[in-house]
Chain A
Amino acid sequence: MRLARVRGNVVSTIKHPTYEGRTLLLCQPVTPTGEPRGEQVVAVDHVQAGVGDLVLVLTEGNGVRQILGANAGPIRSVIVGVVDEVTGS
Chain B
Amino acid sequence: MYLGRVIGTCVATVKYPGLEGYRLLVVEPLHEDGTVSGEPHIAVDVTQAGPGEHVFLVGSREAALACEPTFVPVDAAIVGIVDAVSTEAR
Partners in one complex: yes
Counting contact residues on chain A (CB < 8 A from B), the size range is: 20 to 34
Q: Residue on A with the closest CB to B84?
A: A11
Q: Which residues of B contact A50 (CB under 8 A)?
A: 89-90
A24 contacts B38, CB within 8 Å? no
| A40→B65 CA distance, assembly (Å) | 22
Q: Which residues of A contact B63 (CB under 8 A)?
A: 74
Nearest Cβ distance between residue A45 and chain B, in whole angstroms?
Answer: 12
Instruction: Verify if A83 is at the interface (C-beta below 8 Å from B).
Output: no
B88 contacts A19, CB within 8 Å? no
Nearest Cβ distance between residue A49 and chain B, in whole angstroms?
Answer: 10
| A21→B2 CA distance, assembly (Å) | 19
Contact mask A56-89 → B, CB, 8 Å, 1/0?
0000010010000000111111000000000000
Nearest Cβ distance between residue B89 and chain A, in whole angstroms?
Answer: 5
Beyond A12-B82, A14-B47, A51-B89, 15 additional pairs, beta carbon < 8 A? A8-B32, A10-B85, A14-B48, A19-B80, A24-B1, A39-B2, A39-B29, A40-B31, A40-B37, A51-B86, A61-B61, A61-B62, A73-B65, A74-B77, A74-B79
